[in-house]
Amino acid sequence: MKTRHIFIFAIILMYFFSCAQHRDHSHDHTHEHSGQDDCRGTDEHAHEQADSHGHDHDDDSHLIFVSDEWKRLIGLETVKAEIRYVDKLFSVPGRIIPHSDHVADVSAFVDGSVNSVFVQTGDRVEKGDELICITSPEIGLLRAEYEKAKAELDLSRQNLQRRKKLYDENVISDRAFQEAELEFELKKVQYEYAKKRLTAVGVDDKQLAEPPAEHSDAVGATLHIYAPIQGIITERQVRKGQKISPRDRLFEIMDLTTVWCEADIFEKDVHRVHLGQEVVLRVSAYPEKRYSGHIIQIDHTLNRETRTVRVRIQADNKNFELKPGMFASAFIITGRKDNALVIPRDAVLQDESLNIVYVKEGCGFHKHIIRLGLQSDRFVEVIEGLMPGAEIVTKGNYQLHSQSRMSGVDPHAGHVH
């Protein structure tokens, strides 16, 4: 009787065990089918897919699966590795400075006091715009001498014309006519001298013809100072009522439509640079932008302490984004290599001593360890680890890398083709 009960109990256990196996097998096939046909599940579903693929396919054991929603959240973008040219270059640190021929210090050439200031720091001015009006006793004296010389010249001209008429009518002698000519030439020299003294202190022809009359109590002693170049007022060191002298710098004006970048080239690299060489500049303030320039000067002496030679690079700056004082990376182009397998520089991540990228494979992303060749400011050459046409993650790769660490994927796993 006991033997019969044991036998029946064994049959029941075998039945339940068989049912449990069937349910597990059906569950596995359900998820495997879902993972192959649909890449759009939730994050939780995506991780279940990763687990099920990992059991059946060795290549998929290191794939990272993420949902479409998560891709949108991290702004994931991809590009294809392509065969194209890549620039040969080397980079050096530099600093942005103003073009020395495009900087002007504005001062007065005489002592005086400030009546009006027409500009503020940061204002953009054109050449000839009014900056300041001053009153100067010296200007008054010089103008008086000029007006006197001008009047005497006019009188001597009239006298010469009258004597010429009399001379032509044989009324006066040769000597009388020559005396009139000599007097006219003398007055002319005195007039030109008085005029030059005024122009030397900043009085132009317009102010000579029409003296500024804004300040009626100082007519003839006022002076307007104008911008000598176009540019931006970078310094203003004057205010209304201030006493000034020729030693005072009133304004600094910079034309920043063109700037320079100074960089120091190590002695071993001096042979790689030459005048006119193309350079690409990058600054941290605008990391996505590149600025084109070229080498305009190479020093003829070596800095004995740093063992470097200074070069000067000129770059266009129409948008005024490159500002004096900024640090820059100067990528000096030395040549070009054609038919290289190239990917964007931003696609490459550093993991310890390894260069890695994430490649879209099916519904997931796989980490590839790659070896790099030439590196330009925007692209890098891949000499091992990728095939042309591979779809590389350029944005969102940091998040994928964090996801791979969290999911326990071998951080050094990757293909080498």
CA max distance for the chain: 174
Residues facing 193 on adjacent strands: none
Residue 299 to residue 293: CA distance in whole angstroms? 18
DSSP 223-259: EEEE-SS-EEEEEE---TT-EE-TT---EEEE-TTEE
* Top-ranked range on mean pLDDT: pick from 82-91, 114-123, 338-347: 114-123
Q: How confident is the model over 191-217, as a mean pLDDT?
A: 78
Please tell me the class of the 106-254 domain: mainly beta
- Of 52 and 358, the one with more pLDDT: 358
Q: How confident is the model over 70-87, as a mean pLDDT?
A: 89
Q: How confident is the model over 280-303, as a mean pLDDT?
A: 94
Which range, of 115-119, 213-217, 255-259, 399-403, averages the lowest pLDDT? 213-217
Structure confidence at residue 56 (pLDDT): 38
Phi, psi of 376 (to 5 degrees): -100, -170
CA torsion through residues 194, 197, 199, 201, sign: negative
- Of 342 and 35, the one with more pLDDT: 342
Domain with CATH 2.40.30.170 in the chain: 91-99+255-336
Per-residue pLDDT at 315 exceeds 90: yes
User: What does the pLDDT look like over 137-156, one tens digit per residue?
Assistant: 999 899 999 999 999 999 99
Per-residue pLDDT at 287 exceeds 70: yes
DSSP E strand boundaries for 99-240: 103-106, 112-117, 124-125, 130-135, 222-226, 231-236
User: What does the pLDDT look like over 212-244, one tens digit per residue?
Assistant: 655 445 557 889 999 999 999 999 999 999 999
Residue 74 to residue 397: CA distance in whole angstroms? 9
Structure confidence at residue 409 (pLDDT): 52
Closest CA to 135 of 240, 250, 248: 240
Domain with CATH 2.40.50.100 in the chain: 106-254
Per-residue pLDDT at 263 exceeds 50: yes
Pick the CATH number of 91-99+255-336 from 1.10.10.60, 1.10.10.10, 1.10.150.530, 2.40.30.170: 2.40.30.170
Cβ atoms of 259 and 317 closer than 8 Å: yes
Question: 49 to each of 20, 340, 402, how far by Cα in Å?
Answer: 22, 36, 19
Per-residue pLDDT at 158 exceeds 90: yes
Residue 198 to residue 149: CA distance in whole angstroms? 12
- Of 207 and 255, the one with more pLDDT: 255
State the distance between the two ends of the chain, measured CA to CA, in whole angstroms.
69
Residue 397 banded pLDDT, cuts 50, 70, 90: confident
Per-residue pLDDT at 313 exceeds 50: yes
Which range, of 225-234, 241-250, 264-273, 376-385, averages the lowest pLDDT? 376-385
Q: How far is CA 186 from the centre of its chain?
A: 59
